[in-house]
A and B are shown apart, each in its own frame.
Chain A
Amino acid sequence: MYTIKLGRVQEIALIGILSALNIASRLYLQSLPNVKPVTSIIIISVFLFGLAFAAKLTIVTTVVSGIFLGLGLHIFFQILAWLVICLFTDLIAGVYRPKEKMPPILLMAIFAALMGYVFGFVVSLEKLMIGGPTMFWTYYLSGLSFDTLHAIGNFVFYLICSPIMIKTFIRGSKSLQK
């Protein structure tokens, strides 16, 4: 496992770039419900840059894309859901960090797919707050098909993104250290 240490300015610049990528994907993939690379990118950034970086990236992504897609209570729940995903990923990263290697890509793709369901569950908690348990279960169960789409999207995007991002950033950090 290889955690890249960033300077302050580098961190700000990277958060800007990655969140811009996330926001652009959320805006332009609107026609495909829930099939977005955002969750995969957040999971990868937990591995590469640590938990604090991923949390900042999550908040910037959600709030700024919320300005375009509509602000509301759901913004808070999306942040909460991605923070929960960050924590889960951090648990796995804690296992692989001492070994100094990346976890196997297929395992992580399946993990990313599972995180699609976690995201759907946490976002549905909004309805628990508004309409009580009956409304929550109806909303959650009717949203399961969309969660499945999210899971499939995560699986595919993790397979696409992780080799590219991991190679690029590790190579970039090495060239910075020289």
Chain B
Amino acid sequence: MNNQKSDKTRILLILFIVLSLIVIFGVSVWNQNNTSKEGNNKGVAIHCLPNNDKLVMNDEGVNDDELIQDDEKGEGDEEKTPTTQEIQTNEEGQPIISQPVPDSSDSSVDHEGSKEEIKDENTTKLISVYSSIKGLNDEILAQGYVQVEEGKSAFDALSLLCTQNNMIIKTTGFGKFVYVSGINGLNEKAHGAKSGWIYHMNGTYMDSGAGNYVLKDGDVMEWFYVYD
């Protein structure tokens, strides 16, 4: 009698464990398929390695809308806006030069020749984000427009800006849970126990992680080093 009862509980327990393992693996496989369809780039999030694909796209990355705007404005537009020239220096392998916040429509690059190539290669829409990094005593470490694919996170934009300026980011975690612990050798807890990196998006403090914020076109992202 007692033996039968214990056998029953044993079988029930084994069933429960097997079922929950099946559910766990099923959900993980389902999640995996979903994320691979979105095609997010995991390699960028772990380390700030120079990602060639991204950099190339950034150089060629011109919105179709912006191209049309450029065509309408004509060639004289280039002389008026210093922005255009400064980003063009980036094509020759030099870092983006710091600049004041100009109108977002002026941030485009003239690329008439490569217009068709872009359409063939990149079906994803590119968005441009103005981002800046301020270190100790509001010293500006880097500043400028970066162009990322639509759906990328704030951390992706930061890592792209740092790659362009040859700065190294120290992170822990990855994906949506990435945490920026240091930029360009300036680490958290180096200037007091509560010091570290935070970011503002469009002037407001964000309480979610940088990996979790999905960028929109025309966002203004500011990174600050706070200290006691």
Contact = CB atoms under 8 A, between A and B. Distances in A.
B50 to A, nearest CB: 21
Nearest to A128: B28
Contacts of B174: 134-135, 138
Contacts of A51: 6, 9-10, 13
A51 B11 CA distance: 11
A130 B31 contact: yes
B17 interface: yes
Contact of B9 (A52, A133, A135, A136): A52
A18 to B, nearest CB: 18
Interface string B4-26: 01100110011011001100110
A134 B13 contact: no
Contacts of A55: 9, 13
A50 B7 CA distance: 11
A129 B17 contact: no
Interface residues of A, number: 23
A83 B35 contact: no
A133 B33 CA distance: 12
Contacts of B32: 132-133
A86 B175 contact: no
A55 B17 CA distance: 12
A131 B31 CA distance: 8
B13 A87 contact: yes
Interface in A116-143: 125, 128-136, 138
A125 B10 contact: no
A101 interface: no
A136 B175 CA distance: 13
B16 A129 contact: no
B140 interface: no
A87 to B, nearest CB: 6
Given A51-B13, A125-B24, A135 B175 contact: yes
B20 A80 contact: yes
B201 to A, nearest CB: 24
Name the residue among B9, B16, B25, B175 with the largest chain A CB count within 10 angstroms: B9
Interface of B: 2, 5-6, 9-10, 13-14, 16-17, 20-21, 24-25, 27-28, 31-32, 35, 42, 174-175, 177
Interface of A: 5, 50-52, 55, 76, 80, 83-84, 86-87, 90, 125, 128-136, 138
